[in-house]
DNA sequence: CGTATAAGTCTACAAGTGTATACCTGAAGA
DNA sequence: TCTTCAGGTATACACTTGTAGACTTATACG
C-alpha cells in the first residue's frame, strides 16, 4: 500500500504497459540519444521498474531498435510535403521551421538519429532506415538529373537545420523570426527542387 | 624500475605532455563524442595516467572545452573560403566536398560537435564556440539583409552534409561523384551568398 | 652530493550503468 | 475460498565512469 495510493496505478495490462515503455523510450532517446538515455529513466517515464523493460524487450539495444523503427514510421510529416507534385520551397521551409520550433517534434526519428550518431550501432540502424524511408522516396519524387544527390542534400539540410536550431540552439536560427527563416530557406529548397542544369 | 624499461618513456616535459593529451583528446572526442570518450582512454592515447589529465585540465569538461576550441581554431579551411570577398558557391562546395571525403578531416571541430550533440554540457560549449568563431565571422562577411540567418543556414548545411556523408554515410552522398556533388551544392551556396531579395 | 620541486602514478571512492535472480502480488478460474 | 500464474518489484552484482588525496620519482639547481 505504499505505491498504490500515490498514482492512478495502471491496471495490470501487459500490452498497455509495453506501449507505455516504448513511448517513454522514444521520448528519452530523442532527448538524450542512445547512450544518454538510461533504462531506469525510461522505465520511470512509464511508471514502471527498470527490470520490466528488460523483461519485455530483452535488452536496451533491442528496445532502441524497436523505438527507432516506430519513430521513423511515424515521421511522415515532411515526406509527403516534399514528394507531393506541386510543392514549393517556401512551403517546405515553412513546415520545417514549424516543426522544429517546440521541444517535442514530429521529427522524432531524425532527432533520435542526431543524438545517437556517436554510437556506431545506432548510426548503422539509423542509416538503413533513413535511406529506405526518406532518401529513396524523395529522390523518386524529384525530376531531372542527380535526383539521388539532390535528395541527399535536402536531407542534409533538414538534419543540419534541426541540429543547429533544436539541438545546439544556435541563436541566429533558434531565436529568429519564422518569416525571416522562410525567406532564407525557401529559395534554397527551390534550388534543390529545380532540375540541375 | 618497473615502468621505465618498457617504454621510451618520454622525458618529463609538462608542455609536451599537455599537448599530447590535448591531441589525444581531440581525436577521441571526434571519434566517440563527449560521453563516448573516457578520460582513461584519452590518457592512454597520450601514454599517461588518467589523473594527469585532470591535473592539467581540471576536469573532463574543461578538457573538452579546450579541445573543441583548438579544433575550431584549426578548422580554418572553410572560414576563409567563405569570408573572402570573391567566393563563389561552386568554390565553397568543392572545398567542402574535398574535406569531407576521408575519415580524418580538417573539420574535426564539426565532427566533435556532431558526435557530442547528445550531451547537454557539450552542446552548450559547442554552441558558444561555433557562434563566436564561425557564425559571426560568416555573417559579417555576407552582404544584404538577414545575414545572421543566412550564415546559420550555411552552417546547418555544412554540418548536415558532413553528418550525412561522413557520420551516417548515406550512399547518395558518400559514394557520389565529387563533380556531381559540386553541381548540386554549388548553386545552393550561391543562393545563400546572394543577398536575400 | 643533496635536496627542493615539478612531473607523474596508485589506490580508492562514490555514483551510475545494464542486467540476472529471487521475490511479491493481485486478479481470475476451479 | 483456495490455487495459480502472469504482471510487476526488490535486491544485488559486476562493471565503468569522473575525480580526490596521498604517494613516488626524476630532474635541475645550490
| pTM to 2 decimal places | 0.82
Nearest CA in chain B to A148: B172
Using alpha carbons, select from B29, B38, B92 the residue that is nearest to residue B64: B29
Residue A81: helix, strand or coil by DSSP? helix
Closest CB to B180: pick one of A139, A149, A165.
A149
Angle between helices B14-36 and A14-36 (to 10 degrees): 160
Contact A157, B189 (CB under 8 A): no
Residues of chain B contacting residue A181, judged by C-beta atoms under 8 Å apart:
149
Kindly tell me if the per-residue pLDDT of B195 is higher than 50: yes
What residues 72-131 of chain A have any CB closer than 8 A to a CB of chain B?
Answer: 113-119, 123, 126-127, 130-131
| Rounded Cα gap, residues B185 and B88, in angstroms | 11
CA atoms within 13 A on the CB side of A93: 22
Give the distance from residue B179's alpha carbon to the nearest chain A alpha carbon, in angstroms.
11
C-alpha distances out from residue B66 to B42, B58, B146, Å: 14, 11, 31
Residue A69 exposed, middle or buried by CB count within 10 Å (0-12, 13-18, 19+): middle
Give the model's pLDDT for residue B119.
81
Kindly tell me if the per-residue pLDDT of B52 is higher than 50: yes
Contact A161, A96 (CB under 8 A): yes
Closest CB to B35: pick one of A35, A148, A176.
A35
The count of other CB atoms within 10 Å of the CB of residue A44 is 14
| Rounded Cα gap, residues A171 and A175, in angstroms | 5
Q: What is the mean pLDDT of chain B?
A: 86
Tell me the per-residue pLDDT of B124-154, one tens digit each, with 9 for 90 and over.
888 888 888 888 888 988 989 999 999 999 9
| Rounded Cα gap, residues A74 and A30, in angstroms | 13
State the first-to-last Cα distance of chain B, in angstroms, to the nearest integer.
73
Using alpha carbons, select from B45, B25, B111 the residue that is nearest to residue A118: B111
Specify the range with the lowest mean pLDDT, choosing from A5-9, A152-156, A163-167, B63-67.
A5-9
Residue A142: helix, strand or coil by DSSP? coil
Specify the range with the lowest mean pLDDT, choosing from A165-179, A183-197, B6-20.
B6-20
- The protein footprint on chain C, as nucleotides within 7 A of a CB, is 6-11, 16-22, 26-27
Q: Phi-psi bin for B58: left (phi > 0), alpha (psi -120 to 50), beta?
A: left
Long-range interactions of B148-151: CB distance < 8 A, separation 24+: B148/A172, B148/A176, B149/A172, B149/A173, B149/A176, B149/A180, B149/A181, B149/A184, B150/A184, B150/B192, B150/B196, B151/A172
Residues of chain B contacting residue A185, judged by C-beta atoms under 8 Å apart:
153
The count of other CB atoms within 10 Å of the CB of residue A131 is 17
Torsion on CA atoms A107, A109, A110, A114, rounded to nearest 10: 130
For residues B74 and B136, which has the higher predicted lDDT (pLDDT)? B136
Cell numbers given for B115: 558526435
| Rounded Cα gap, residues B100 and B36, in angstroms | 22
Cα R_g (chain A), whole angstroms = 19
Kindly tell me if the per-residue pLDDT of A102 is higher than 80: no
Contact A10, A16 (CB under 8 A): yes
Kindly tell me if the per-residue pLDDT of B118 is higher than 60: yes
Would you call B36 an interface residue with chain A, using a CB distance cutoff of 8 Å?
yes
Question: Is there contact between A60 and strand C, defined as CB under 7 Å from any strand atom?
Answer: yes
For residues B194 and B197, which has the higher predicted lDDT (pLDDT)? B194
Specify the range with the lowest mean pLDDT, choosing from A122-126, A182-186, B50-54.
A122-126
Are B167 and A117 inside 8 Å of each other by CB? yes
- The protein footprint on chain D, as nucleotides within 7 A of a CB, is 6-11, 16-22, 25-27
Specify the range with the lowest mean pLDDT, choosing from A45-59, A71-85, A134-148, A162-176.
A71-85
* Per-residue CB contacts under 7 A with strand D, chain A residues 35-54: 47-49, 51-52
Amino acid at each position: 500500500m505504499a505505491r498504490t495510493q500515490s498514482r492512478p496505478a495502471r491496471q495490470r495490462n501487459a500490452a498497455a504497459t509495453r506501449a507505455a515503455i516504448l513511448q517513454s523510450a522514444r521520448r528519452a532517446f530523442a532527448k538524450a540519444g542512445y547512450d544518454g538515455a538510461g533504462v531506469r529513466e525510461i522505465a520511470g517515464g512509464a511508471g514502471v521498474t527498470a527490470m520490466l523493460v528488460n523483461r519485455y524487450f530483452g535488452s536496451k539495444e533491442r528496445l532502441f531498435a524497436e523505438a527507432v523503427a516506430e519513430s521513423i514510421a511515424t515521421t511522415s510529416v515532411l515526406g509527403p510535403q516534399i514528394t507531393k507534385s506541386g510543392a514549393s520551397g517556401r512551403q517546405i521551409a515553412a513546415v520545417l521551421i514549424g516543426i522544429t520550433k517546440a521541444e517535442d517534434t514530429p521529427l522524432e526519428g531524425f532527432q533520435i538519429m542526431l543524438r545517437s550518431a556517436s554510437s556506431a550501432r545506432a548510426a548503422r540502424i539509423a542509416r538503413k532506415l533513413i535511406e529506405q524511408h526518406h532518401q529513396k522516396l524523395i529522390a523518386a519524387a524529384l525530376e531531372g538529373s542527380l535526383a539521388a544527390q539532390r535528395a541527399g542534400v535536402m536531407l542534409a539540410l533538414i538534419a543540419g537545420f534541426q541540429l543547429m536550431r533544436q539541438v545546439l540552439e544556435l541563436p541566429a536560427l533558434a531565436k529568429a523570426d519564422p518569416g525571416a527563416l522562410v525567406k532564407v530557406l525557401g529559395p534554397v529548397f527551390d534550388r534543390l527542387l529545380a532540375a540541375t542544369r
